[in-house]
Amino acid sequence: GDEREKGEVQIKDLIEGARMSAEISDNAEWRAARPAQVTVPETDLVAEVKKILDAQAADRAGQ
């Protein structure tokens, strides 16, 4: 992609992706949905990663 030119980064939540893979059995559906992947401006990188980590911590606390 041209994220670099746009000043964007892709963030992939591998934990959420693994969880979602159990729910999506069709490869085409998986590619179309792009679960657990977001594109954000480079300036929002830290905030978005923190948001993902906070959500994972909340999920673990609720288990």
pLDDT, tens digit (0-9, with 9 covering 90-100), for 9-38: 999 999 888 888 887 777 776 666 666 899
Question: What's the predicted TM-score (pTM) here?
Answer: 0.73
Percent of the chain with pLDDT strictly greater than 90: 48
Separation of alpha carbons 9 and 7, rounded Å: 7
- pLDDT at residue 42 in the model: 97
Torsion (CA) 48, 31, 33, 40 in degrees, nearest 10: 20
Conformational region of residue 11, where left means phi above 0, alpha means psi within -120 to 50, and beta covers everything else: beta
